[in-house]
């Protein structure tokens, strides 16, 4: 039954997703995995935005429009990230974050 789902269900779901993404982004060693974890965090944001749109401001599409902006900009950001990883892979033949130690981390 849809009516039994409250905004809190969505908040808990998105908080869990955000926490998983943040944990992965901090602990994973492979740069591509880290980017995937960042995508999880942004998905958590989108769940929040769309759910709040439904429950808080059902008469206006504020949250949904915001979510579309987030999706678009996140794609651009991840695109730049992958391009940089391509460059660094050509230099070092690795995308393992532990190998990036030219500077003190």
Q: Is 65 in the site for another protein (CB under 8 A)?
A: yes
Two tokens, residue 73: 């900009």
Q: Of 5 and 65, which CB lies nearer to another protein in the complex structure? A: 65
- Binding residue for another protein, selected from 13, 20, 36, 77, defined by CB under 8 A: 77
Q: How far apart are CA 68 and CA 98, in angstroms?
A: 34
- Binding residue for another protein, selected from 1, 87, 93, 98, defined by CB under 8 A: 87
The H or E element that residue 27 is part of is: helix 7-27
Two tokens, residue 68: 């579309």
- Binding residue for another protein, selected from 70, 93, 94, 98, defined by CB under 8 A: 70
Q: Is 13 in the site for another protein (CB under 8 A)?
A: no
* CA terminus-to-terminus distance, the chain: 51
Q: Is 11 in the site for another protein (CB under 8 A)?
A: yes
């Amino acid at each position: 039954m849809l009516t039994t789902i409250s905004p809190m269900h969505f908040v808990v779901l998105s908080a869990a997703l955000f926490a998983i993404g943040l944990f992965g982004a901090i602990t994973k060693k492979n740069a591509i995995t880290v980017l995937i974890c960042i995508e999880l965090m942004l998905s958590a944001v989108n769940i929040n935005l769309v759910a709040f749109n439904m429950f808080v401001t059902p008469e206006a599409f504020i949250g949904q429009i915001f979510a579309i902006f987030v999706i678009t900009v996140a794609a651009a950001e991840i695109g730049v990230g992958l391009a940089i990883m391509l460059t660094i892979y050509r230099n070092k033949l690795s995308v393992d974050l532990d190998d990036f130690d030219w500077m003190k981390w």
